[in-house]
Structure 1
Amino acid sequence: MSAKLEAIGLTKRYGDTVALEPTSMTVQAGEFLTLLGPSGSGKTTLLQMISGLVAPSAGRIEIDGRDVTHVEPGKRGIGMVFQSYALFPHMSVWDNVAYGLRMRRKSREDVREAVEGALEMVRMSEYKGRFPKELSGGQQQRIALARCFAYRPSVILLDEPLGALDKKLREHMQAEIRRLHKELGATFVYVTHDQDEALTLSDRICLMNDARIEQIGTPADLYDRPATRFAAGFIGHSNLLEGALADTPDASGEPILLVAGGRIPLPRTAKPGQAARHTLLLRPEALEFVEPKRGFVDGRIDDIVFFGSDTHVQLSLPDGSELTARCARTLSPRIGDTVGLTWDPYRTTLLHA
């Protein structure tokens, strides 16, 4: 892959307020990169600077190796899809999709072919004569996507485009966006605060926090190997066990973490460092139940919640720590029972921040 888009030392300040710390990242050609993070993390500011809607305070932006930092938005060769759809209410679906092409002074035949292709791509050809008020929210979102896709930009920016949709429609549109990305082969940069959406759509996720990049990686990287405590807590459900490192390793040479009266082995790849306390990340699906005293630690079952496809079990450890286990629908232990807890040490992550 070659670099399609690069942010190099990109920074934004509003007076004394820093909206984005100096930030550098590379997006590969054809990649689907999601900017994920809570409100105020800097993700929308970064997207707006890439689009040209906001001028950076420092740094530069390159597309295909060309410096576009001070190039106006319409000449950067990018498309933008907003959460609010931004459709013209007085124009038909056809005219909304054709608008950008006409502004670029395309021929009538080119406009016709591009609009028909874009409407077919989003499966809205039969609605070309309708007006936005005659469409549902999901249909309006499809038209906003078609308008962007019609002139085939090589970089497409999407700013929380599904935020206004209900859960079922949002999941449907996620599948549609993923399909369209594959069909177009364009580079997508997508902003969301929804971690499930990011995990579903992305080739890579850029997790942002406090106006800076916290971690960049594949969805599996961020879920299985979060670099910081914030990343562990923001992506997926996290069980965080805090304890002290044992003075001596176990018989196999693996380091041991002392937690809630138990001795928890860490993978040899873990690098505990010199801190007095350490935090271990354990995902709910990694936990397994065994007989009491036969696992790494014992826990008391406080609650059992049925979710349809699986069951979530809330447990408390002797030191007051709480864990969540995710297991099959059938479960023999009951609320109030004490169980042993075990897991594969290589499915855990030792956190360092």
Structure 2
Amino acid sequence: MTRALVVPRPGDLHVARAADDGPLRHGEARVRVAHVGICGSDHELLAGTRDPAFVRYPVVPGHEWSGTVVELGPGTDPRLLHRPVVGEGFRYCGECSACRRGETNLCLAGYDETGFTRPGACADELRLPARLLHVLPDDADLRAAALIEPAACMAAAVRRAAPEPGERVAVVGGGTLGLLATQLLAAVSPAILLVVDPRPRPAAGPSGATEVATPEEAARRRGGFDLVLETAGARGTGRLAVTLARRGGRVVLAGLNGGVDDPIPPAELVAAAVSVHTVFGAPSRAWSDAVAALADGRLRPLPLISDEFVLEDAPRVLGPDAVLPVGKVLLHP
């Protein structure tokens, strides 16, 4: 019997026997799930606070995952069988103008994503189009690889930021996203790499940061950075990112603030002459970047993992009384 963690409606989750989804169709693959990362959006899914346009109940959550291919449908590359993989979440069409530009995360066919509108990886097995798979090195650590999805989002942000060696760089947010971004940015050899977070973050140093500061301490360095990447999505973090950038500097906003009304006044943007960019998820090329960074050692996710649970313990992680740990939590079916 295969199992799945099901959220039939907001506030309700349980482990159940997975529904029989029939034989694989043309171009599909089945993956035995090794590890699943828990994201803040999974908590929103259970709480019912996620935008209705980005969820379809009942749903099996799980969009950050790693595993091994155990079955292939017709029309797939036989070399995928038994390979360790991760997989893109967005079910893009591959035919619209956005997809043809390489912006597969902005597919015009409409939002459709594993773990939100399609069954996710909080299960023994996951079925998905084989074209979404990215093959890992045979010796890849599948615990670390479960963080490829958030790393791909940060790879997309770093691509947009276009960092150059010797620049002064700040990352606003010292959570998992911020520290993954810090690792990727450290590989570019910035002169300064500051992580801004209100909490003590012992992992910031090993992630490549040269300095760590609280938001209050960082605010005293207004205009001191060529590039600022915001990953926290908390009240005031977007505005802090803009104020930290020098005049004519660059800001990339990657954090989601959950609908908090926290505007950045246009007058401040105009006066600072900063370039502000945003990212939503990760296109295919950013996934390739993240997989390559894991393979060559630029990306080191293991120190960011704080807790691991079996699937049946999911209510301890996602339930209404769950105490959120500082680091990344993994489930392993």
TM bucket by the smaller chain? under 0.3
- Select the structure of larger CA radius of gyration: 1
TM score, norm. by length of structure 1: 0.23
| Higher RCO (CA < 8 A, seq sep 6+) | 2
Higher strand share goes to which structure?
1
TM score, norm. by length of structure 2: 0.24
